[in-house]
Structure 1
Amino acid sequence: MTVTLPALRSANLVEQLSELLATQIVSGERAAGSRLPTEGRLALDFGVSRTVVREAIARLKSDGLVVTRQGLGAFVAASPAGRPFRIGAESKSPHQIVQEVFELRIGVETEAASLAAERATAPQVREIRGALRALEQASRRGGDGVEEDLRFHRAIARAANNSIYDDFVEFLERYTRNQLSISRRNCEIAGWLSEIQVEHEAILEAIAAHDPAAARRAAHGHLRNGMGRLKRIQAH
């Protein structure tokens, strides 16, 4: 079977390679059950590193398009799950994608907080509280707190007790991690960290009080404010 091997540009190589391989799999160019070339072969064919190939294969595996077999390599899934959902387009600027992801998060995470206030168990409330304390400690130590911030929002999604919310918030992390890194670094300079902490506390306390309306307002306000802060950073 002949497989087309277009050149990849320098930016977002993992995204480009995983998207290209996904297109080939969904179209049937790479047949169900067929073995993918080795990491080394793919790296050579596409002019990328083995690390890029490894991360692209991992993404295809999480999308249900590829399975791996110990000692044998990666294979196209027998029944590929269909074209995976992707965010981003070549015609959009990074700033535009960040804003659109933020708008998506407002819808998803606001309702997740409301559901968490309705459904969270006592252990789940403790998990959210623990994640927030870890974020506070990371900030005091001088860390950027990005992973702890992600953990806090993921714990809220988990407490919605709807696995799709949990999975989707985790999916969005690949797009929000860099944005959070930019935001938190600049928020410290601008003195916004205490403001963010108050917003986080409001979400936590509303969930702990099992008040869905308050949780929805607090989460919506926090995310709207976060988008506003990021816009101010990008404007400079």
Structure 2
Amino acid sequence: MTKRKPLSTVVADSLREKISSGELQPGIQLPTEAELGAQYDVSRTVVREAVARLRSEGLVVPHQGRGMFVNEAPVPRTFSIPDEALRTLPETIALLELRLSVEVEAAGLCAERRTEAEADNIRALMEQVDARHDDPSAIQIHYDYDFHLAIAKATRNEFIYAFLAYLRPIIVPRFQLGHVVATDVKEVYYARIHAEHRAIVDAIGKQDGRAARRAMRAHLANSLERVRALALAAGIDATDVDQQAAAAALFAELKRPPRAEG
């Protein structure tokens, strides 16, 4: 079953299309909140959220005391991920593929460029994150994202760090670890992830860019493999219950030794 878009997204999409098509010309004033609410049969809160989204995109601008107007200046297209995205297994898989392509190189650059203080900080952060062993039902699947951000920051490439930092508030709250890790294999799962993290950190400590890239690729590829397997087991349109049942059967493989990286 396809999830319905939030009402604020529906309204924002409609207004965006009217601006793009020229129905709402540059410089024209938007209808009032009350008028938009009546037009779309939604509350003023929904209208405010929709207009705020358009404002953040630079499509509309406020004129003090007069209201909101369509921006007269051309607005360059920017990369964005819709709020309703990344809530299901297929979008989570797409995200992991994107992260893998960026973070493999980030790990190598980090190893080659990091300071001793940064290497120490990355190791300390890994130990802190990996020591928690939280209940999978109460933690997000990307619980180690701060560890990955610390690696990105030490690349000395502001665009890599800014891109991954941009993704953080979008992806971290979306998907609970409990959807992909059964409670009875929790400890084994955390031990596996710690081993993968440690391989990355050790390579960074040795300033071995090739090994760091290889270890990061193994870490994210293993995560991608696990989530892809869950998608196949549970089905694209599976409910949370379906996904958790599939996870319980699927993650018995965690009791086997980790896959060796070639």
**Partner of residue 221 from structure 1, selected from 218, 221, 239:** 218
Using the size of structure 1 for normalisation, the TM-score is 0.69
Task: Report what 1:102 is aligned to.
Answer: 96
Paired residues of 1:117 and 1:215 also in contact (CA < 8 A): yes
How far has the Cα of 1:21 moved from its partner? 4.5
Q: Give the conservation status (yes or no) of the 8 Å contact 1:132–1:200.
A: yes
User: What is the distance in 1 between the residues matched to 2:55 and 2:77?
Assistant: 13
Which whole-Å CA distance do the structure 2 matches of 1:197 and 1:163 have between them? Answer: 27
The answer on whether the counterparts of 2:29 and 2:68 sit within 8 Å (CA) in structure 1 is: yes
Give unpaired runs (5+ residues) of structure 1.
Answer: 1-8
- Calculate the TM-score normalised by the size of structure 2: 0.64
Tell me which amino acid in the other structure corresponds to 1:150.
Y
Which residue pairs with 1:84 in the alignment? Answer: 78
More helix by share: 1
**Shift in Å, 1:80:** 4.4
Equivalent-residue separation in structure 1 for 2:64 and 2:143 (angstroms): 33
Structure 1 segment 194-213 matched on structure 2, within 5 A: 194-213=191-210
CA contact (8 A) 1:132 1:148 kept: no
Which deviates more from structure 2 when the two are superposed, residues 226-235 or residues 103-112? 226-235
Deviation per CA, 1:119-177: give whole Å up to 9, x if none: 22345435434543442354358751557522222222222222221222133335532
Q: Distance in 2 between matches of 1:77 and 1:95?
A: 37
Whole-angstrom CA distance in 2 between matches of 1:65 and 1:145: 33
* Matching residue of 1:154: 149
Contact 2:24 2:70 survives alignment (8 Å) = yes
1:5 counterpart residue number: none
The 5 Å alignment of 1:1-236 reads: 10-13=4-7, 16-32=10-26, 45-47=39-41, 59-60=53-54, 63-65=57-59, 76-77=70-71, 79-87=73-81, 94-140=88-134, 144=139, 148-173=143-168, 176-178=171-173, 181-183=175-177, 186-187=180-181, 189=183, 190-191=185-186, 192-234=189-231, 235=233, 236=246
Q: More deviation in 226-235 or 53-62?
A: 53-62
Determine the C-alpha separation between the residues in 2 that align with 1:206 and 1:42.
56
Q: How much identity, in percent, do the aligned residues show?
A: 37
Q: Secondary structure at the match of 2:181?
A: helix
The amino acid of 2:91's aligned partner reads: I
> Equivalents in 2 of 1:52, 1:128: separation in Å?
42
Moved more, 14-23 or 187-196: 14-23
Q: Where does the alignment leave 5 or more consecutive residues of structure 2 unmatched?
A: 234-245, 247-262
Q: CA deviation at 1:216?
A: 0.6
Aligned-residue offset at 1:211: 1.7
